[in-house]
Amino acid sequence: MAITNGTQVDRVQVVAHRGTAGYAPENTMAAFERAIQMNADYLELDIQLSKDNELVVIHDSTVDRTTNGSAAVKDLTLEELRGLDAGSWFLEEFKGQPIPTLGEVLALCRGRIGVLIETKWPYLYPGLEQKLADELAAYQMHLPAERVIVQSFDQDSVKRFRAIMPEVPVGVLVENAALLAEDKLMELANYAAYVNPALELVTAEAVAHIHSLGMKIFPWTVRSRSVVPSILALGVDGVITDYPDYLSQD
């Protein structure tokens, strides 16, 4: 438990951004395994579809930045994506880390850690939300015993997923302060359980508004120890960070 203004409150959830992106190559099994070892509450990851309609875990719309390849994710088959090296760019010791499938990550996480899944570039991938729902069901990750949240900057994607699998809570990512206005938050509260803004947008007033509407807030992305005390003091429900150990609350 954490203590805020002398009152005992629920422990702030530690969300490992793209796995432990500060310590291992983002969105790889090495990063996800480390998040579990570091006792994070959730790991955050990004999903897209391969050319042959398989769910893969990668952030950018191209493989250029985080692999030794050069192409759009949507133009490569799963076999081609899996043949790329997604680790060497970070450190040579991670050479040979493949781009994971969502199924591999769910198998790793089930019963061990929560999963915060972002639908990336959903306009590029018709049917992405249905495919995600099918995968969650296949691994029984939609059941109450598991902790899964689906989020996106694309509100239409969030709404589509919620319509397919309403038992899984959804969140809206926010990088524009206008979305944190009270009238906009009221609109989001019609379907979202989480509002997850960029760190610089988080204020005590925004947190209070979000909570007053029955939603929770997970700001992103903490990359410095120095900001931890101030962000925790605002009463957020979770923190998305590249360094889960920065959020030790013992």
Catalytic residue among 59, 142, 209, 211: 59
The two three-digit tokens of residue 189, written as one number: 């509260």
Catalytic residue among 17, 142, 209, 211: 17
For residue 185, give the H/E element and its range: helix 182-188
Q: Which residues contact 120 (CB under 8 A, 6 or more apart)?
A: 46, 47, 48, 58, 59, 61, 152
Helix-, strand-, coil-residue percentages of the chain, each rounded to 5: 35, 20, 45
Closest CA to 46 of 110, 121, 104, 97: 121
The DSSP bridge partners found for residue 116 are 44, 149
142 is catalytic: no
CA 182 to chain CA mean position, Å: 24
Q: Which residues contact 50 (CB under 8 A, 6 or more apart)?
A: 56, 73, 74, 76, 77, 78, 80, 81
The DSSP bridge partners found for residue 114 are 42
Give the active site residues: 17, 59
